[in-house]
Amino acid sequence: MSNLVMIILAIFLPFIAVLINKGLGKDFIINVVLCVLGYLPGIIHALWVVTRK
């Protein structure tokens, strides 16, 4: 997917962006936990996962 689309998805649905980018794994679990604890940490983690190469 386009990087811009992934960034927008990471802002609105962070765990879906991580799932599409990395699949079911530790990054997805970490992001779900961060989203439950607070939406902003989940967004930050998702943006970090999506933008790193």
Residue 51: per-residue pLDDT = 93
Residue 27: per-residue pLDDT = 93
Residue type, 29: I
Residue 20: per-residue pLDDT = 93
Could you tell me which residues come within 8 angstroms of residue 35 by beta carbon, excluding any fewer than 6 positions away? 14, 15, 41, 42
pLDDT along the chain (53 residues), means of 10: 89 94 94 94 95 84
Residue 2: per-residue pLDDT = 86
Give me the number of domains the chain comprises: 1
Task: Count other C-beta atoms under 10 Å from residue 41's C-beta.
Answer: 16
pTM, two decimal places: 0.88
- Note down the domain range covering 33: 3-51
